[in-house]
Structure 1
Amino acid sequence: MWEKPSARFLPDGRRLLLQQGPIDLVIEAIGQQDAVKAAHEVAISRFGGLLAELCDELKLLRTAVSRTSPLPLGPVARRMHAAVARFAECCFITPMAAVAGSVAQEILGAMCAAAPLTRAYVNNGGDIALHLAAGEQFRIGLVKRPDRPEFFATATIRPEDGVAGIATSGYPGRSFSLGIAEAVTVLAATAAMADAAATVIANAIDLPGHPAIERLPASSIQSDSDLGGRLVTRHVGPLAAGEIETALAAGLVEAERLRAAGLIVSAAMHLQGESRALATPMIVQEDPERRLARA
């Protein structure tokens, strides 16, 4: 049994923290005082019971999606399924690949339906659902690794960009990865799709069989992992420059394929000091001494 959901404001008095079990949401809403209050209240209300909804369908959500997969019942679970279904024909993927983004999107949707907000976001461990009114913008830092607050680039997002979701995946993060990227950040129309796509692109950045890469069965680390006995990356030793280039090039090919299919807006990736990104004016490298390579 999970503990009861909790809600409290962070020391800055602006950001609301919602917690239960594995879910930690950092929420900020900007607008008229009454609107912000209403948004916070509905976020707290919707958060209560959300984890229980997912747990009720956990067995299905941990099962690989196929054309014949049954649809989940809950709204968040259905959003997870819909996001990953676009990738099911080309790779093994379960709805859990989109869980963080889908939860963030659910809470933000409830907030925006309850009150007119100028800007708002729901950050679920780095997978973020965004809302922007006309004329507003967000500037987001792109991290080198999900477990370290170190940026290699920034993304400036405006309403006309069609981006309402950002997600980051990589082997050092809280979720398992089949690939070796330290970070892949995806910008997409929804947080659920960004989450699923970041997983797929991160998995594509790989050097199969390389002796510097340590892998273990997912189930040996987490017995109930949706990846079962599939090998997940635990450590990547030093790679040669050409090897890094090869791995990142594979990620760029996959990212470009997803962009051409209309599934993502942009993506950036990082591996052992090297960064690559799809060509877009939204993403700019932080370090002026180096130019972010673009596809």
Structure 2
Amino acid sequence: MDGPQAHWLQDGKRLHLNHGPIDLIVEAFGEVQECRLAYEQAVARFQTILIELVKELPELRLPAFFLAPRAFDGPTARRMEAAVIPLAECFITPMAAVAGSVADEMIAALLAGRKLDRAYVNNGGDCALHIGKGQSMGLAVAGTGPDIADRITIRSSDNVRGVATSGWRGRSFSLGIADAVTVLARTGAEADAAATLIANAVNLPGNPAIKRTPACELSPDSDLGARLVTQSVGTLALGEVARALDNGLAVAEDFRRRGLIAAAALFLGGETRISGSMALAAPNKSPGKEVAHA
């Protein structure tokens, strides 16, 4: 595996950081000198973040236990554990929050001692945001249907600094059949973990149209072990789509009532369910900078 790579994209405005499975797009807005220093800080922090995670990977692949956090050494690992502990009534490992936690750690490095108007770190669609007072940021949302705009706006007053998307078509394995579940939360790690579990809950156990395979057969080191992960979803009846989405919506509503997420949008088979009444539920009439195709 090559070491950490950093280069500018063709537009000269966005920084691309890559190391193994971590692939980030970083952009900062503000005074030129502040942005330059912020980018330098991000590049410096990126040099060791994967190495730190690999050292603690065996423990990070083990289930978390409700109200019993483990003492990890690295800050990213600690973010992962903290994000999943409130959700650990059911099976979840810190790996459910890895992409969002990396984004959070990197935006913290970007902001340390700096004065920026806005910034984001996009880790494959799982994003950490910085939105200064009076500022806003626009995002593109994939999988949208007739009930939701494909652009959303996050304002500084929204208490949302993390956006994540999960589903069976994504980069990671899913126990459910959601085409996509996009979550807004306080941090990228919290959004990532919650999106994983909501997407798992969009499900029709035992339905013959769904092909599932033990995760360990696809990836021997998977934290999901022998749990069945979705490989394909055939034609579903209209009522089945609605039932699967309602299963996921019940989980999203529970998370929102508990203050774990701000909003969620669930997509399957052209249908949509929305939990929350903020940005995801309304058209974006004053778009800011597009951040991610989540």
Shorter-chain TM-score: which interval? over 0.9
Cα distance between partner residues in 2 of 1:284 and 1:203: 22
Cα distance between partner residues in 1 of 2:34 and 2:236: 51
The match for 1:76 is 76
Runs of 4+ in structure 1 deviating by more than 4 angstroms, as ranges, are: none
SS in 1 for 2:267: strand
Note the alpha carbon deviations across 1:222-245, whole angstroms, 9 max, x for none: 111110110000100111111111
Structure 1 letter corresponding to 2:85: A
TM alignment of 1:130-279, pairs within 5 A: 130-144=129-143, 153-279=150-276
Q: Is this contact kept in 1: 2:7–2:17, CA < 8 A? A: yes
Alignment gaps of 5+ in structure 1: 146-150, 287-295
The match for 1:99 is 98
CA RMSD of aligned residues (A): 1.6
Q: Is this contact kept in 2: 1:214–1:235, CA < 8 A? A: yes
Q: Is this contact kept in 2: 1:38–1:114, CA < 8 A? A: no
Cα distance between partner residues in 2 of 1:261 and 1:168: 20
The match for 2:58 is 59
Cα distance between partner residues in 2 of 1:199 and 1:284: 20
The alpha-carbon deviation at position 203 of structure 1 amounts to: 0.6
SS in 2 for 1:140: strand
Cα distance between partner residues in 1 of 2:153 and 2:36: 27
Note the alpha carbon deviations across 1:11-56, whole angstroms, 9 max, x for none: 0000000000000000000000000000100000000011000000
The match for 1:148 is none
Note the alpha carbon deviations across 1:185-218, whole angstroms, 9 max, x for none: 0000011000000001001110000000000000
Q: Which has the higher contact order (CA 8 A, sep 6+)?
A: 2
User: Are residues 216 and 282 of structure 1, via their aligned partners in 2, closer, same or farther at CA, if it must alter by over 3 Å?
Assistant: same
SS in 1 for 2:52: helix
Cα distance between partner residues in 2 of 1:108 and 1:55: 20
Q: Is this contact kept in 1: 2:262–2:276, CA < 8 A? A: no
* Percent identity (aligned): 53
Cα distance between partner residues in 2 of 1:54 and 1:108: 17
The alpha-carbon deviation at position 278 of structure 1 amounts to: 1.6
The match for 1:125 is 124
Structure 1 letter corresponding to 2:87: F
Q: Number of paired residues?
A: 280
What TM-score comes out, normalization by structure 1 length? 0.92
What TM-score comes out, normalization by structure 2 length? 0.92
Q: Is this contact kept in 2: 1:170–1:184, CA < 8 A? A: yes
The match for 1:15 is 14
The alpha-carbon deviation at position 139 of structure 1 amounts to: 1.5
User: Are residues 209 and 152 of structure 1, via their aligned partners in 2, closer, same or farther at CA, if it must alter by over 3 Å?
Assistant: farther
